């Protein structure tokens, strides 16, 4: 049985959680390989809505390993809250496994992540303020604290001290700026955190998190090898998406990890030959949270239709998502980047009721040049105008459709157009948020 990667092909929020939940039915393990609690997965099961940030979507399958891989950055306080929430809901966490090599988000990472919003830096990325960037930066600087460090008080204290040393100046500047904003009444934002950093209390807090997390800590790479080598199916679940990839996305308006399929190897500890299938998840239109270029963004009633009907508000921050038409120039790029085998298209029902549906098929540069491919130069992308193909829309409630024959012809034509353009079959189409609200274009083999 294969390793399967499930990744986002746009700017995140494509509905990967639901697809993972579906494809995990015959898998033995579901592994998160990057990101942290900047992500948000919503799964609707038997009318219950579950929201996860760190725990892989597979947790609702109690017979499967649910793994947080080494490539994830973990805020242990948030993870323990999720574990407690699951226990309260009567969902077992017995099969949750956490990599000893995963890095931890520390309170000073969260503080430093607000520097951007407090206009201390030059650029406002519009991060989720969960400390993701600073945690990955410490990992690269070799100043990170890992899950395994929670199990050794002496090492933990020493490492926190070393990590804090280089941050004192930045934290002091942040505190001054924060006090000024508060004094000027420019913020009453509760998420602007306290600036006191106390080595002793952080160490004590993290040791107590360590005690609670210890039963879950595992050699997760070995767990993946055992499953794969025994012929069982392992799903590698990405968070965010290709256009937010640190190397291949719209840098610097990206996240600080690599959400593309290739990164599953690094973030889980498996080899490229362990992954036989890549599923790209694409929303039937496009959304983006935070700053950065978005050529097909709509600021009109169609964008409002998508936002309202699609409930386009961030699972993690509640921020309204920017909405726009599906961008096939970008999709063809990310489909190739991920080595995508199949696409799953989500939220097709949201487009119902629109007279026509547009898809961007090329860009025009400010100088008038036609661009068929996603431009490698960021400044070009910032100033392109998309050119559209206009397809007939469809109407009516499609949430009850379960086979291709149930769908309006115009919806089928839309699916076929997208699939032909990017050169990858669309195998699954979501027609509603529920677990069963899908149309298989071609049943899994």
The separation between CA 326 and the C-alpha centre of its own chain, rounded to angstroms, equals 18
Distance, in Å, from the CA atom of 99 to the CA atom of 6, rounded to the nearest integer, reads 20
Tokens of 40: 């948000």
x-marked contacts with ligand IMP along 184-223 as a string, rule CB under 6 A: ----------------------------------------
β-strands 426-430, 342-346: how paired?
parallel
Residue 340 parent element (H or E): none
Among 5, 9, 10, 12, indicate the residue that binds ligand IMP (CB under 6 A): 12
Contact status: 240 vs ligand IMP (CB under 6 A): yes
Is residue 126 a contact point for ligand IMP (CB under 6 A)?
Answer: yes
Contact predicate 74/103, CB 8 Å: yes
Q: What is the DSSP string of 415-436?
A: HHHHHHHHTS-EEEEE-SSBTT
What distance in Å separates the CA atoms of residue 207 and residue 316, rounded to the nearest whole number? 26
> Which residues, 6 or more positions from 51, have their beta carbon under 8 angstroms from its beta carbon?
40, 41, 42, 315
Cis ω for the linkage preceding 252 (within 30 of 0)? yes
Q: Contact region for ligand IMP (CB under 6 A) — 127-135, 260-268, 269-277, 302-310? A: 127-135
Interacting span for ligand IMP (CB under 6 A) from 38-46, 71-79, 197-205, 212-220: 38-46
Catalytic residue among 21, 41, 53, 274: 41
67: three-class secondary structure by DSSP: strand
Residue 267 touches ligand IMP, criterion: CB under 6 A: no
- Least distance between ligand IMP and beta carbon 229 (Å): 32
When asked if residue 116 is in the footprint of ligand IMP (CB under 6 A), the reply is no
Closest CB to ligand IMP among 210 and 303? 303
Largest Cα span, the chain: 66
Query: Candidates 77-85, 124-132, 305-313, 394-402 — which segment interacts with ligand IMP by CB under 6 A?
Result: 124-132
User: Total number of residues binding ligand IMP (CB under 6 A)?
Assistant: 21
User: Which residue has the closest beta carbon to ligand IMP?
Assistant: 290
Determine, following the binding rule CB under 6 A, whether residue 79 of this chain makes contact with ligand IMP. no
Q: How far is CA 268 from CA 33, 59, 118, 239, 264, in A?
A: 5, 17, 34, 13, 6
Residue 298 lies near ligand IMP (rule: CB under 6 A): no
| Nearest-approach distance from CB 341 to ligand IMP, in angstroms | 23
Say how many CA atoms lie within 13 Å of 433 toward its Cβ. 16
Of 20, 99, 250, 255, the residue at the interface with ligand IMP (CB under 6 A) is 255
Find the binder of ligand IMP among 4, 289, 359, 441 (CB under 6 A): 289
Nearest distance from C-beta of residue 323 to ligand IMP, angstroms: 13
Distance, CA of 436 to CA of 336 (rounded, Å): 29
- For position 39 contacting ligand IMP by CB under 6 A, the verdict is yes
Alpha-carbon distance of 107 to 347, in angstroms, equals 36
Which one from 13, 116, 149, 245 is the annotated catalytic residue? 13
Respond yes or no: is residue 211 known to be catalytic: no
Question: CA 390 → CA 65, 354, 364, 395, 397, distances in Å?
Answer: 45, 12, 17, 16, 22
Nearest approach in angstroms of CB 404 to ligand IMP is 30
Which of 13, 75, 149, 349 lies at the binding interface for ligand IMP (CB under 6 A)?
13
Q: Which residues are catalytic?
A: 13, 41
Binding site for ligand IMP (CB under 6 A): 11-13, 38-40, 125-128, 130, 132-133, 239-240, 244, 253, 255-256, 289-290
């Amino acid at each position: 049985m294969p390793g399967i990667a499930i990744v986002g092909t746009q700017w995140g929020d494509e509905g990967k959680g639901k697809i993972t939940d579906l494809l995990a039915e015959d898998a033995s393990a579901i592994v998160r390989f990057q990101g942290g609690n900047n992500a948000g997965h919503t799964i609707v099961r038997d009318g219950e809505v579950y929201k996860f940030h760190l725990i892989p979507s597979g947790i609702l399958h109690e017979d499967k390993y649910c793994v947080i891989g080494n490539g994830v950055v973990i805020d242990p306080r948030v993870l323990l809250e999720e574990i407690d929430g699951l226990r309260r809901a009567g969902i077992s966490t017995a099969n949750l496994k956490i990599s000893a090599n995963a890095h931890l988000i520390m309170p000073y990472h969260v503080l430093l992540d607000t520097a951007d919003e407090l206009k201390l830096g030059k650029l406002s990325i519009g991060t989720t303020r969960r400390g993701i960037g600073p945690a990955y930066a410490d990992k690269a600087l070799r100043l990170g604290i890992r899950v395994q460090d929670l199990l050794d008080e002496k090492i933990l204290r020493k490492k926190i001290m070393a990590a804090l040393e280089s941050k004192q100046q930045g934290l002091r500047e942040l505190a001054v700026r924060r006090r000024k904003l508060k004094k000027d009444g420019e913020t009453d934002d509760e998420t602007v955190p306290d600036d006191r950093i106390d080595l002793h209390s952080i160490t004590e807090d993290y040791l107590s998190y360590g005690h609670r997390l210890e039963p879950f800590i595992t050699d997760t790479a070995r767990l993946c090898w055992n499953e794969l080598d025994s012929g069982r199916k392992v799903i590698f679940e990405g968070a965010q998406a290709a256009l937010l990839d640190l190397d291949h996305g719209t840098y610097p308006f990206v996240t600080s990890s690599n959400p593309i399929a290739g990164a599953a190897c690094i973030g889980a500890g498996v080899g490229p030959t362990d992954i036989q299938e890549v599923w790209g998840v694409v929303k039937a239109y496009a959304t983006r949270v935070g700053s950065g270029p978005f050529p097909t963004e709509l600021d009109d009633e169609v964008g409002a239709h998508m936002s309202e009907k699609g409930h386009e508000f961030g699972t993690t921050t509640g921020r309204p998502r920017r909405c726009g038409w599906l961008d096939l120039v970008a999709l063809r790029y990310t489909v190739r980047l991920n080595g995508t085998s199949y696409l799953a298209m989500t939220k097709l029902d949201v487009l119902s009721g629109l007279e026509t549906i547009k898809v961007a098929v090329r860009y025009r540069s400010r100088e008038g040049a036609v661009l068929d491919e996603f431009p490698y130069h960021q400044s070009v992308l910032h100033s392109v105008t998309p050119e559209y193909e206009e397809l007939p829309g469809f109407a009516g409630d499609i949430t009850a459709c379960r086979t291709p024959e149930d769908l309006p012809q115009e919806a089928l034509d839309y699916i076929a157009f997208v699939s032909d353009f990017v050169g990858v079959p669309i195998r699954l189409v979501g027609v509603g948020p529920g677990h069963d609200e899908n149309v298989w274009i071609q049943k899994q083999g």
